[in-house]
Amino acid sequence: MVVRDLQRILYRLHDQREKLAPSLELRRAHLTAAYHGQLRAEKENIESYIGRLQPGVRRVYLQRRLGVLNARAGMKPIGL
């Protein structure tokens, strides 16, 4: 009787895993796309702001921040 109960529990877990796997993959893909979209928006915002600044501490800071974002995302820096 105990073996039958364990088998029933394992079957339920296996059945639930098959139902949840596609939704987990979709969620992972959505989170990845949202993260990359946020990085892209931040990079574009910084790039547009750097172009309007005069040379100085703030511009150097933003160029450094853009370099960090490029390194984190594994992308090549856009010509500065």
pLDDT tens track for 27-72: 888 888 898 898 889 888 888 887 777 778 777 888 888 888 888 7
Residue 30 region by backbone torsions, left for phi larger than 0, else alpha for psi between -120 and 50, else beta? alpha
Say if 42 falls within a structural domain.
yes
Say if 22 falls within a structural domain.
yes
Say if 38 falls within a structural domain.
yes
pLDDT at 1 over 70: no
pLDDT at 79: 47
Say if 79 falls within a structural domain.
no
User: Domain span at residue 33?
Assistant: 2-73
**Mean of pLDDT values over 3-8:** 83
Say if 58 falls within a structural domain.
yes
pLDDT band (50, 70, 90) for residue 74: low
Say if 40 falls within a structural domain.
yes
pLDDT at 61: 83
pLDDT at 19 over 80: no
- Alpha-carbon span 78 to 80, nearest angstrom: 6
Domain count within the chain: 1
